[in-house]
Amino acid sequence: MAPLSAFLRFLFIFFATLFFLSSASASFHKSHHPHVAFHNYRDALTKSILFFEGQRSGKLPPTQRVKWRGDSGLSDGSNLHVDLVGGYYDAGDNVKFGFPMAFTTTMLSWSVIEFGGLMKGELANAREAIRWATDYLLKATAHPNTIYVQVGDANKDHSCWERPEDMDTPRSVYKIDPKNPGSDVAGETAAALAAASLVFRRTDPSYSKLLRNRAIGVFAFADKFRGAYSNGLKAFVCPFYCSYSGYQDELLWGAAWLLKATKNPTYLNYIQANGQTLGADETDNTFGWDNKHVGARILLSKAFLVQNMKSLHDYKGHADNYICSLIPGASFSQTQYTPGGLLYKMSDSNMQYVTSTSFLLVTYAKYLTSAHKVVTCGGTTINPKRLRAIAKKQVDYLLGDNPLKISYMVGYGGRFPQRIHHRGASLPSKAVHPSKIQCTAGFRMMKSQAPNPNVHVGAIVGGPDLHDQFPDQRSDYEQSEPSTYMNAPLVGTLAYLAHSFGQL
């Protein structure tokens, strides 16, 4: 029996050694695998959506997770006998601007349309964030040929530093109608309603139909009564959300979303007939709340690439031109980057262009992959993998891979901005300080160096300057203010990254 025992012992040691070596090899490959992420994109996704709850206006629901916020703006619209309670404060102030709110809604919806299937538990939260906006937009468009586009006098609001819950500045209401048209804000509102109708198509068909039908009427109004809303409302909407790029881009963008939501050939005919005059092939390469040309090109290129709408062939070329303008270090690139590698468009809230561009990159990469196509830049071929890598690098910079090693998303990572330019976050909550903080009394906190008492989890700030520097000063709204349209495009990109790195 002794030789057999020795043999069995030998077999045991042999197989144990093999197991150890294979485990070590697997562990080595796992730790050196290019698909290992250095960021928790899932955590960032959760926080990017949670941010919207801190921006809510109106009567907060029992499910409200951001507890330092309370009810606010409960009589909004009453001076014109309309119900305009709800919606979002766009940034760090207490005004409801319809133009950026509609763009935020469109981008949140597009994020869910493209990447909602990857969001798992966060999908319900993303839908809630969209619905908080669309419920308000339905109120704002309840009267035919009229859109209520702003609640609050921005100049008077900015002369106070107070919590939304304490507001005592005028809640003036501003609208567009046939006498004072606003094809830009109306076109964007139509896009938002149409995009959101796709989000709710399966989970709430009747709500989806209501959104789609309202989008059709709002777009018809936008197209029939043409003009920029900042012409008639200049004193109230400028310089905050002036329509600098005109309204043509919103008409093309709105028609593109209605084509997607309704599949009605009327919108395809509209795009074919008006695309050129609405700027389809312009070389403006900035995508944000004001200029939608690039977004329309990417969206319409899907109709060609994935749905084989041959008549939209040109939009693939238009989209490629935009992508080529972004490639770092390439001779055909037209985009500036900081020494640390961040895409840099302008000093004021630059991070909005980082998040919107990253979303377009991963989304266009998805379309190209489906169609087995690439981007051609002169004699250079750019594949979808390269687009995703550029987007990932931008998101990683935002989350902390930058010269200062700071996350520009509040509450994510070990180091993030402490003094964001945000009234509600910078003043003690009602639970801590129940008595009213008067209009100008809050400026003492605004000017202090103390960290904000409320951590506005998920808020993305304007970001660093051209030299990768960030002072973290509350008074510096260009670099330290968050906004809904900064977060909205990032939701989709983070869902994609979290899924592709096995975190969802």
**Structure-token pair, residue 452:** 């904000």
Residue 478 is a catalytic residue: no
Q: Is the pLDDT of residue 3 over 70?
A: no
Question: Do 169 and 156 touch, CB atoms closer than 8 A?
Answer: yes
Q: Is the pLDDT of residue 259 over 70?
A: yes
Q: Rounded to the nearest 10 degrees, what angle do helices 183-199 and 205-224 cross at?
A: 160
What is the per-residue pLDDT across 322-362, written as a single tens digit (0 to 9) for each?
Answer: 999 999 888 888 899 999 999 999 999 999 999 999 999 99
Start-to-end CA distance of the chain, whole Å, equals: 54
pLDDT at position 282: 82
Q: Is the pLDDT of residue 174 over 80?
A: yes
Nearest to 151 by CA among 164, 134, 160: 164
In this prediction, residues 466-473 reach a mean pLDDT of: 97
CA 96 from chain center: how many Å? Answer: 17
Which segment of 19-28, 86-95, 369-378, 462-471 scores lowest on mean pLDDT? 19-28
Q: Where are the beta strands (DSSP E) in 261-405?
A: 336-337, 343-344, 375-377, 380-382
The conformation of residue 226, written as its DSSP 8-state character, comes to -
d(CA 214, CA 218): 6
Please tell me the pTM assigned to this model.
0.92
Residue 314 is a catalytic residue: no
The single residue of 76, 153, 250, 481 carrying the catalytic annotation is 481
The single residue of 53, 76, 90, 93 carrying the catalytic annotation is 93
If you average pLDDT over every residue of the chain, what do you get? 93
What is the per-residue pLDDT across 392-446, written as a single tens digit (0 to 9) for each?
Answer: 999 999 999 999 999 999 999 999 999 999 999 999 999 999 999 999 999 999 9
Residue 499 is a catalytic residue: no
In this prediction, residues 437-464 reach a mean pLDDT of: 96
The single residue of 39, 293, 318, 421 carrying the catalytic annotation is 421
Three-state SS sequence of 151-217: ECCHHHHHCCCCCHHHCCCCCCEEEECCCCCCHHHHHHHHHHHHHHHHHCCCCCHHHHHHHHHHHHH
Q: Is the pLDDT of residue 68 over 80?
A: yes
Residue 184 is a catalytic residue: no
d(CA 341, CA 339): 5
